[in-house]
Structure 1
Amino acid sequence: MGRLWLEQHIEVWNDVPPAEIVEECKLTLVGKILSELSINLLAFQSTLRRFWKIDEVNISIREARLYVAKFKNDIDRQHVLDRGSWLFSGHLVIFTPWILNTLLHCYDFSTCAFWVQVFGIPLEWCSVNMVERAVKHIGKVLEVRIDSKEGVSLRTVRVRVDLDV
């Protein structure tokens, strides 16, 4: 059959990227739309800016369904990460922090964090350990919030879980 690939020289660079570019990249999120449909970039940008309530963010497409969002400050970037996943035209949009020396197509978008509300837990079982134990089978538990209302014995239990998508 012959050779299916050719040996090529691989050059290893020991250079370090400029510090100001690395600092700029730290304010960046990489995102992916889980859809095969083409997306209107202007509609995508304006919708996310409105959802995020952030005007000063530059969103650009880099590869098929891969986007880069550059923020002016870390507070806005963290706000988007903390609020979780997003929907655009009914399609899930996942954003993840920029990772040094990582190609865009190497980012992992196979999981997404969702808030799950848990019902039917007896009051005496409303502890972080017991709630984690109850929901660990659906995904990796990231955070547990147990809210109790003053003077009321009912409790709301919410768990942020990293789920396979």
Structure 2
Amino acid sequence: MFAAALLQAPRHLCRSLFKRVGRRGVFLLILGVGKTCWGISFLVNPPDPSGLQLLTSMCSLRHWSWLWIVAGLVTTSCAFLRIGRDWAGYGAALIPPIVWAIAYLAAAVSGEYSRGAFVALWYLTSHVGVIMWAATVPEYSVPPVPRRPGKGNAA
């Protein structure tokens, strides 16, 4: 009995969290946690800076990691705001991938990183494009189930 209650607790917590934040909030939570983790990975173990010369000419990737971390924390916190007030979360989520896309595009144009244009396009489509699309999706966009006419109703 106790084990069953323990198994129900996470499910109940997830269900109540989803009710609290809604579909848009869940998307912001996923984005925010992901961006924060990505930024922390740059702090813990910075990757090869190939293609990011524009950024690393200003400061190290460890410093740039804070852009991802702060954007992720803002995005996560905006998941708990009411619809219409969550715009800052979507804006914060856009900043890091746009900055990275610009850096990779600059590296491709300068000839420093031949894959830069492809990586920039990847950031612009799979990150920026998806975030911009999700920002326009209303919380309740599913139409109601049509009702069948009851008995005795003339058509």
Into which bin does the TM-score normalised by the smaller protein fall? under 0.3
Q: Which has the higher strand share?
A: 1
Higher relative contact order (CA 8 A, sep 6+): 2
Q: Which has the higher helix share?
A: 2
How high is the TM-score relative to the length of structure 1?
A: 0.26
How high is the TM-score relative to the length of structure 2?
A: 0.27
